[in-house]
A and B are shown apart, each in its own frame.
Chain A
Amino acid sequence: MSFEEKYHLTTNPFRITPAVSSEEIVWAGFSGLKNKFIKRIKRSIKIPNSSLILNWGEYGSGKTHAARFFCSKKQLEIISKEVNSKPPYSFTFPLPKGKDPVYSIYISVIDKLDIKQIRNDFDNQSILKFIDLYSDNLQVQSILSAIFNENVEDVSLLKKYLYGNVTNTELKKLNQYGILRHLKSDSDYTKVLAGLFTCLTFNKLVYSSIILWIDEFEDLAILSSSNIDKTNNFIREILDNTPNNLLIFINLTQSALFGQEDLGEYVSEAVRSRIRDRINFDLPSEQDLKDYYLDLVTTFRAGKVDDEYAPFSSELISKIIAELGNVSIRSFNEALSMTLELADLEDVVPISIEFFEKYKEEIIGWKQE
């Protein structure tokens, strides 16, 4: 019998590394948390003001999952349709830990930038007129014009320039478009990004807002002072230079180095004062976990079953939750995933409390050490 025939599930839904692509990633349970994000994203779609949101929780509480889920094109299209608007343009990346954090963030955005697609999406004339009035920084203005202007035919040269890889001879070819020098400083990168974000959300015609989702922000604590300053300055400056249509989420995991009380030590006052909301990923209650379980198995259900909890039972799920104690959603998934895989190996259907007891030490043995 196949896995699907045995358990009436299309796949093991509890696997930590999902087999599905980020576009097919699912959200189960935790409806309150989900609604908070939807509300925030809808607000950024409808209201112009830029904002910074802090997502706080323990390791394994689902912050990275939330970033992947809400940055998927599919979800953003669903959310934007509900408010009859264009979808946001999203970027998600971990906090850069290298020598040049601002350059790394800039590169993450440029990597995703499809210049040909953008030119197709935008009305050439009106965006170029807008760019002419956008800034008094002629260099930034020229770069933005080149990105959106169809007359700049050599797109690969332009991309090479944006990456900072053009030679002086190649730069000369771009002089005719007003691009006269290389991009060098953090301030250059931030201004280009701010300009790009502003253009992409021009009148909310093509994209209603930009979502920047910075994961693993707790790693700020391991950076050198100067890189901590650079990262803080970047967030402050990008928000100041993009006053409209920018929504930044920062995922912060409580760690040995970064507790709640350390926020002030690493995140500058200028950034903290710009945090508009804080979304907590609290440890789930028994009911949260049961709702999550039911929602997840229903999503991956194949065929009809008598017990909605199949292939587990309500009693077994309660038992596993009780045995685990207060744990993250990741640990809950790990326990269920392993139980299901062991049952599959031994062709055990349905999965009983006795079966779980037999392998309890293996499944949650680490809890007892």
Chain B
Amino acid sequence: MKQIICILDACSIINLIHIDEDDFLLKKLDEYIEYYLCETVFSEVCANVYTKIDKLRNEKKIKPEEAKERKKEIDITLSNFRQKQEKNSKIKTEFGADFFKTVKSLTNYPKNNGEFYSTALALYISRFKEINKKKFIGTKVFFHTDDYPAKEFFSSFFFEQQIGYIEDTADLLVLLYRLDETFTINQLDRYLSNLFSEYAPEVSGLHKRLQKIKSSLNLKLRRDKAFIKNLDKLIYKLSEFEFFEINEPIKFFSRNSKKYPNVYDAINHYSLVLDLQSNSTGLLEKIRKVRKEKDNVFRLGLAS
């Protein structure tokens, strides 16, 4: 019987789909992990999983037939995740119609998105002893998300409610590596590198686009103190791969989207960067650290 229960967020699922090679990760996930996702997350996955391919296609980096082929492959993979959905209506039946309202007031989270419903699902699973006729008593639940602002927001709730832990996709990869002896260290490194390059090109792309915008500013904008301050701050943070409070300048440009449409459009084009804001070690730094220290992961049979 599988002992580890995980809830997957939309960004983690999308990342897993994009970094996987020949369904290797998906098979390991099915083999070792009892994983679930809420229906909101599944809708978010369906809405966003093709964005990367559409972007590549629009930038003419892949041919139309290849884009079609890759979308077809994703459709097949999606059917696996569809089966793992837990419906909100079912949770309401079990825990009462007010359950989500209760979670909302306990967390004070303002949005009704995948991260919120995943947190509610985690609470539900941690309190319920039987899911799909499988019994779990007191098992801690792992919620995997690469949305760092959400991760940091809900972490204390997971701790205080003794639900379990919030981890990212890098942690999930290490977990699969340590659970499966056929998962080699080179594979782990490759998947971590693939995960890194799901985000890093977005950071670098936005950085270059903003630099270009800055190079061709008219005098009026260059004299606009608030604009220059926020643009410089954003460019600096992106160049340093530093994501502490990076959403501050981003929020400034969102608030002033009509006044500064070029910058706002650039941020929208590279929107994955929004998930990287972090008050501690960010996702990209974490992946680099895990790659460097991967040899230290203790695994039976590999101890030196």
Contacts and interface: CB of A to CB of B under 8 A. Distances in A.
Interface of A: 16-17, 59, 96-100, 104, 164-165, 216, 219, 221-228, 255-257, 338, 341-342, 345, 362, 365-366, 369
Nearest to B190: A225
Nearest to A257: B241
Contact of B239 (A59, A97, A100, A165): A59
Nearest to A222: B200
Given A16-B215, A222-B196, A223-B197, A256 B240 contact: yes
What size tier do the contact residues of chain B reach?
Answer: 20 to 34
Contacts of A345: 219
A145 to B, nearest CB: 26
Given A97-B201, A257-B241, A224 B194 contact: yes
Interface in B45-59: 56, 59
Interface string B219-231: 1001101001100
B254 interface: no
* Leading 5 A-B pairs by shortest Cβ distance: A98-B61, A222-B200, A225-B193, A224-B197, A16-B215
B203 interface: yes
Q: In terms of DSSP, what is the predominant structure of the interface of chain B?
A: helix
26 contacts: A16-B216, A17-B216, A97-B201, A97-B204, A97-B205, A98-B59, A98-B61, A99-B56, A99-B62, A100-B61, A104-B61, A219-B201, A222-B196, A222-B201, A222-B204, A223-B197, A224-B193, A225-B189, A225-B194, A256-B239, A341-B219, A345-B219, A362-B223, A365-B228, A366-B228, A366-B229
Interface string B227-244: 011001000000111100
Contacts of A255: 239
B63 interface: yes
Nearest to B202: A222
A338 B197 contact: no
Contacts of A219: 201, 204
B93 to A, nearest CB: 44
Contacts of B201: 97, 219, 222-223
Contacts of A59: 211, 239
Contacts of B239: 59, 255-256
A17 B217 CA distance: 10
A97 B196 CA distance: 13
Interface in B236-259: 239-242
Interface string B15-52: 00001000000000000000000000000000000000
Nearest to A104: B61
B241 to A, nearest CB: 5
Contacts of B242: 256
Contact of A226 (B190, B211, B240): B190
